[in-house]
């Protein structure tokens, strides 16, 4: 557990005189008067974490006064008294953070399970696969909270995700601590799987605990993906990692000025079904959809990440331009809303275990796989569709994605974000028809495609995820307090008290995860650039204006 990585305790001597408590800084010759709680904090500051200090003192002192004491000591440290700021990197033993058994202990907040209905079945299945395989390489733990005998989350909610420990925390009704507070105690890293930032913001304020945040390729969330990714980048500290599932998402972020250091591409593993052979797969597909041409003509697959209107337009145009081809479209939107596709098109989406179980058969019926390299296209399904030895055609503004290197070709397309995607239909039709013909190049690509199942396994995904945590510990621990103040200052808000029914003006201190008096926060903010007299004048003006109104 990381101590106060941004300050070290100066050599000092504590003494009492005339009932008052003082401490002499032997390095700066300063003498500072302390109150009782600051006296206790100073005794613990060099050997305990902030979490340990608060937990040790909260029975004797008010929590607010403990945080105030810590803040005052660190403000003194900013001026060079009692504490000295550690500039730049804090040197550490690269393996000192590890557990005795060599496995990192990771906190996995399980509020992501509340998102199931907002996501597709494949995304939920992938997260299940990740966690069950992660338990081989890391000790996983999640938190539950009990108030007045009622549990916030029941243990059975976590069954089926592998060997994940449950840490139940009993809290008082008046407790203002958020789950992120308890994440400060005893974890080597935090794994965030939520696709929404509602419950994740506060975890990014924890000092010294690497965070790995996995953002999936979810077609339904395509419109909000960029905002989510940019918010995570703004929140990240130097030892945090944003994991995306495809190289084109990282390329996309680069265009928006996001450097690649804090972004890793770790594609999901492939869920490959039992091979039944292409002729039988074609016959099964034709029978199930009552489309005989799927057993008679070449079958082209389109794994779509398009927004619905453009997706429907492209499918219709491609189908009419190639009536001799049977076209299998995987698209969660169009499967629900596109009611009358062209006769040579079937549209499918795996929405539950039953439909997911037959998807590998449909994929084995494909002779070619097409996909747009844009956020929202599920790379794991692209790779699964190719794993039987089926080459691909990538519709992309970039080059052939490295994940499918040697297994296909590209059709250069224009994409300016959202639904603004332009595919040259004559070129696409020509490339598809050429690649359906036997050739030496196609044979080489088929061989490369067959290797994908061994290349993208869930064991490797789990290992790479744990490695991201390990690399976070190896990175220099920089002083992030300045960045936090810039990106995430204290947030002014209106707070509703359900007990009294009153609404008050407050400030939420992101650094310490607690609410405070608005006036106190304003005084502190103004005092950074103004004299005490000027601050008093401002407040006199406010009070005069309030009285007049």
Report pLDDT digits (tens) over 146-158: 765 555 555 545 5
CB 35 within 8 A of CB 69: yes
At residue 483 the predicted structure's pLDDT band, cuts being 50, 70 and 90, is: very low
Q: What 3-state class would DSSP assign to 160? A: coil
| pLDDT tens by residue, 108-164 | 998 888 888 889 999 999 999 999 999 999 999 998 877 655 555 555 455 566 678
Distances, alpha carbon 181 to alpha carbons 67, 204, 352, 380, 430, in Å: 13, 11, 36, 35, 58
- Which CATH entry fits the domain spanning 1-86: 3.40.50.300, 1.10.10.10, 3.20.20.70, 3.90.930.60? 3.90.930.60
Residue 545 has pLDDT above 60, yes or no: no
Read off the pLDDT of each residue in 32-61 and give the average, rounded to a whole number. Answer: 89
Q: Measure the CA–CA gap between 283 and 364, rounded to whole angstroms.
A: 11
Q: What are phi and psi of 382, to 5 degrees?
A: -60, -50
Q: What is the CATH number of domain 105-269?
A: 3.40.50
Q: Measure the CA–CA gap between 348 and 100, rounded to whole angstroms.
A: 48
pLDDT for residue 177: 75
CB 445 within 8 A of CB 406: yes
pLDDT for residue 199: 72
CB 236 within 8 A of CB 242: yes
Contacts of 544 (CB under 8 A, 6+ apart): none
| pLDDT tens by residue, 426-482 | 999 999 999 999 999 999 999 999 999 999 999 999 999 999 999 998 876 554 433
Read off the pLDDT of each residue in 256-265 and give the average, rounded to a whole number. Answer: 90
Least confident of 174-178, 305-309, 520-524: 174-178
Residue 485 has pLDDT above 50, yes or no: no
Residues of the chain with CATH 3.40.50.2000: 278-456
Q: Where are the beta strands (DSSP E) in 54-104?
A: 83-85
464-482 per-residue burial string, b: 16 or more CB within 10 A, e: under 16:
bbbebbbebbebebbbbee
CA 226, 227, 228, 231 torsion-angle sign: positive
pLDDT for residue 506: 75
In this structure, whether the domain defined by 278-456 belongs to CATH 3.40.50.2000 is answered with: yes
Which tokens is 286 given?
A: 């034709």
CB 212 within 8 A of CB 241: yes
Specify the residue for token string 């992938």.
126
Q: What are phi and psi of 402, to 5 degrees?
A: -60, -25
Which tokens is 431 given?
A: 């490339």
pLDDT for residue 90: 46
At residue 511 the predicted structure's pLDDT band, cuts being 50, 70 and 90, is: low
pLDDT for residue 488: 44
β-bridge pairing 241-244 and 211-215: parallel
Read off the pLDDT of each residue in 2-31 and give the average, rounded to a whole number. Answer: 84
Query: Which of the given ranges, 37-51, 253-267, 354-368, 481-495, has the highest pLDDT on average?
Result: 354-368
Q: Measure the CA–CA gap between 91 and 455, rounded to whole angstroms.
A: 36
Specify the residue for token string 């070290």.
8
Residues of the chain with CATH 3.90.930.60: 1-86
Q: Measure the CA–CA gap between 181 and 475, rounded to whole angstroms.
A: 23
pLDDT for residue 89: 43
Q: What 3-state class would DSSP assign to 489? A: coil
Give the ranges where 322-409 is alpha helix by DSSP (H): 332-337, 353-364, 379-386
pLDDT for residue 486: 38
CB 413 within 8 A of CB 395: yes
Helices (H) and strands (E) in the chain, counts: 19, 24
């Amino acid at each position: 557990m990381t101590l106060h990585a941004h300050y070290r305790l100066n050599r000092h001597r504590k003494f009492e005189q005339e009932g008052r408590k003082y401490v002499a800084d032997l390095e700066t010759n300063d003498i500072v008067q302390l109150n009782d709680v600051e006296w206790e904090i100073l005794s613990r500051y060099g050997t305990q974490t902030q979490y340990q200090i608060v937990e040790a003192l909260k029975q004797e002192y008010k929590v607010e006064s403990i945080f105030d004491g810590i803040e005052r000591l660190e403000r003194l440290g900013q001026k060079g008294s009692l504490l000295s700021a550690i500039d730049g990197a804090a040197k550490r033993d690269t393996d000192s953070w590890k557990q005795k058994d060599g496995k990192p202990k990771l906190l996995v907040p399980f509020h992501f399970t509340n998102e199931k209905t907002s996501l597709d079945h494949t995304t939920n299945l992938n997260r299940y696969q990740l966690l069950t395989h992660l338990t081989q390489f890391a000790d996983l733990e999640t938190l539950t909270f009990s108030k007045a005998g009622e549990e916030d989350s029941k243990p059975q909610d976590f069954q089926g995700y592998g060997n994940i420990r449950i840490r139940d925390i009993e809290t008082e009704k008046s407790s203002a601590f958020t789950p992120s507070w308890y994440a400060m105690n005893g974890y080597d890293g935090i794994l965030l799987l939520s696709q929404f930032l509602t419950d994740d913001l506060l975890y990014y304020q924890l000092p010294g605990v690497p965070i790995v945040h996995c953002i999936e390729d979810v077609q339904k969330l395509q419109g909000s993906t960029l905002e989510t990714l940019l918010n995570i980048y703004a929140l990240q500290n130097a030892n945090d990692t944003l994991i995306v599932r495809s190289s084109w998402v990282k390329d996309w972020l680069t265009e928006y000025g996001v450097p690649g250091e804090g972004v890793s591409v770790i594609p999901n593993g492939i869920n490959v079904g039992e091979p039944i052979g292409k002729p039988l797969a074609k016959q099964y597909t034709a029978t199930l959809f009552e489309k005989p041409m799927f057993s008679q003509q070449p079958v082209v697959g389109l794994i779509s990440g398009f927004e619905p209107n453009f997706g429907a337009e492209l499918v219709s145009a491609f189908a009419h331009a190639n009536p001799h081809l049977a076209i299998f479209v995987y698209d969660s939107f169009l499967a629900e809303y596109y009611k009358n596709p062209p006769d040579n098109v079937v549209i499918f989406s795996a929405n539950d275990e039953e439909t997911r179980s037959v998807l590998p058969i449909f994929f084995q019926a494909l002779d070619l796989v097409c996909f747009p390299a844009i956020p929202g296209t599920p790379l794991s399904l692209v790779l699964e569709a190719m794993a039987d030895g089926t080459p691909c055609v990538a519709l992309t503004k970039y080059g052939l994605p490295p994940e499918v290197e040697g297994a296909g070709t590209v059709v250069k397309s224009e994409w300016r974000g959202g639904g603004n995607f332009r595919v040259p239909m004559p070129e696409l039709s020509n490339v598809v028809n050429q690649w359906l013909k036997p050739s030496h190049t196609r044979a080489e690509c088929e061989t490369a495609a067959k290797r994908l199942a061994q290349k993208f396994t869930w064991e490797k995904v789990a290992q790479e995820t744990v490695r991201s945590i390990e690399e976070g510990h190896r990175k220099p621990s920089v002083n992030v307090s300045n960045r936090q103040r810039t990106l995430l200052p204290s947030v002014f808000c209106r707070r509703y008290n359900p007990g009294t029914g009153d609404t008050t003006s407050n400030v939420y201190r992101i650094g310490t995860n607690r609410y405070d008096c608005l006036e106190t926060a304003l005084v502190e903010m103004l005092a950074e650039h103004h004299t005490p007299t000027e601050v008093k004048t401002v407040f006199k003006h406010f009070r005069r204006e309030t009285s007049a109104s």
